[in-house]
């Protein structure tokens, strides 16, 4: 007899963090091909910060339950799903829906979490780990001896990028505000203060012949500097428009402007490449290939965690019912790592 109830956090519209609502309901039932996951950890990612402002470019209509990813234990399996999955710890990339005590997911979308990795640890590396791994290895194809630039090197994705790049044998130049520089130096990163005027000039001093890759989550005007830092054969991977988080106006326009610029650069005969990275690319056209790639890459990230090449940075853990506090903390810019929500 299941006496558990469903607890979920609802984003009702464009609201301040305290406008988030708690909703109670019945635990969902697994349909054919589905599993019910009892959430153990979900998190606050940059996407939710954009969604509450109505700025995420393909968010669903309000109201909805946010939550980009989660880690939990399979509670029940639907028809056609291996019943042996029940009781196993899994991770899933969702885009929305993770901020709930129980979540319905297609069984094909879950990735096993290896024994010995805690739920909160694993959670810090689902969307951030997949994003970093795919940009580094599938887009930029970084090799030992390369020099790469990671903007926001202390951020959620940035800190994972730094560690995975170093594990691949690359030298890393990382931008961050001054207070994070000592921590970056300890990690073997050459830090550059992104607030101290001409960032591109500082990076050029450290890499006069250009760099093999730049990972840019800021977008906006700075993307032009990022492109100019590339050596011949280099790759720019743009994966966001953080510079427009608080803007008004069209949420599509910054992305379209970026895509237009990327398209134009790729048309130039200069052996450099630019990509606008979206973790969901390819899912609509080739769902099975997308799932296979996701499973492969997240499994690699978890293996890197087990080998000690990547650390799980948990900034704070709060209960789901304190999602407003968690969001405020994540947006404050004062914490390193991921703000995790537990049931």
Domains and CATH numbers, the chain: 6-112+313-341 (3.90.180.10), 128-276 (3.40.50.720)
Strands 147-150 and 230-238 come out as unpaired
Provide the 10 A C-beta neighbour count for residue 185: 12
Residue 327 CB partners (closer than 8 Å, separation 6+): 17, 20, 44, 48, 49, 52, 339
Is the Cα torsion angle 152, 231, 279, 262 positive or negative in sign? positive
Taking alpha carbons only, the member of 338, 331, 323 closest to residue 23 is 323
pLDDT for the residue 292: 97
Beta strands 69-77 and 230-238 are unpaired
Burial (0-12, 13-18, 19+ Cβ within 10 Å), 289 = exposed
Residue 264 pLDDT: 84
Contact between 234 and 212 under an 8 Å Cβ cutoff? The reply is yes
- How would you write the pLDDT of the chain (343 residues) with one tens digit per residue? 456 899 999 999 999 999 999 999 999 999 999 999 999 999 999 899 999 999 888 899 999 999 999 999 999 999 999 999 999 999 999 999 999 999 999 999 999 999 999 999 999 999 999 999 999 999 999 999 999 999 999 888 999 999 999 999 999 999 999 999 999 999 999 999 998 889 999 999 999 999 999 999 987 778 889 999 999 999 999 997 665 566 677 766 776 777 787 788 887 777 899 898 999 999 999 999 999 999 999 999 999 999 999 999 999 999 999 999 999 999 997 887 899 999 9
pLDDT of residue 58: 87
Residue 34 backbone zone (phi > 0: left; psi -120 to 50: alpha; other: beta): beta
Q: Give me the sign of the Cα torsion angle 281, 260, 44, 296.
A: positive
Q: In angstroms, what CA-CA distances link 34 with 21, 75, 92, 289?
A: 27, 11, 12, 19
SS3 state of residue 331: helix
According to the model, what pLDDT value does residue 1 have?
43
Q: What's the number of CA atoms in the CB half-sphere (13 Å) around residue 73?
A: 10
Instruction: Encode burial over 107-116: b for 16+ CB neighbours within 10 A, e otherwise.
Output: bebbbebeee
Q: How many CA atoms lie within 13 A of 295 on its CB side?
A: 13
pLDDT digits 0-9 by tens, 191-233: 999 988 899 999 999 999 999 999 999 877 788 899 999 999 9
């Amino acid at each position: 007899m299941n006496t558990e109830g469903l607890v979920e956090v609802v984003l009702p519209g464009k609201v301040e963090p305290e406008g988030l609502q708690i909703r109670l309901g019945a635990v969902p039932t697994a349909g054919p091909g589905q599993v019910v996951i009892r959430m153990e950890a979900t998190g606050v990612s940059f996407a939710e910060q954009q969604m509450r402002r109505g700025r995420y470019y393909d968010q669903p209509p309000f109201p909805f339950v946010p939550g980009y990813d989660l880690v939990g234990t399979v509670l029940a399996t639907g028809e056609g799903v291996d019943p042996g999955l029940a009781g196993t710890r899994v991770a899933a990339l969702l885009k929305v829906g993770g901020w709930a005590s129980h979540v319905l997911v297609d069984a094909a979308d879950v990735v096993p979490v290896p024994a010995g990795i805690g739920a909160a640890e694993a959670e810090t590396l689902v969307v951030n780990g997949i994003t970093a791994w795919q940009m580094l290895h599938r887009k930029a194809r970084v090799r030992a001896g390369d020099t790469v630039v990671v903007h926001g090197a202390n951020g959620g994705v940035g800190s994972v990028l730094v560690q995975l790049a170093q594990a691949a044998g690359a030298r890393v130049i990382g931008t961050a505000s001054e207070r994070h520089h000592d921590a970056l130096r300890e990690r073997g990163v050459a830090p550059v203060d992104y607030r101290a005027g001409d960032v591109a000039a500082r990076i050029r001093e450290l890499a006069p012949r250009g760099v093999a890759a730049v990972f840019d989550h800021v977008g906006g005007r700075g993307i032009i500097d990022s492109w100019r830092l590339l050596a011949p054969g280099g790759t720019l991977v743009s994966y966001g428009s953080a510079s427009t988080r608080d803007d008004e106006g069209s949420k599509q326009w910054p992305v379209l402007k970026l895509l237009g610029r990327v398209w134009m650069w790729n048309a130039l005969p200069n052996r450099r490449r630019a990509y606008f990275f979206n973790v969901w690319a390819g899912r609509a056209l080739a769902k099975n290939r997308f799932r296979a790639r996701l499973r492969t890459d997240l499994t690699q990230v978890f293996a890197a965690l087990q080998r000690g090449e990547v650390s799980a940075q948990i900034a704070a853990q709060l209960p789901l019912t304190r999602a407003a506090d968690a969001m405020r903390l994540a947006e404050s810019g004062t914490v390193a790592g991921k703000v995790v929500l537990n049931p």
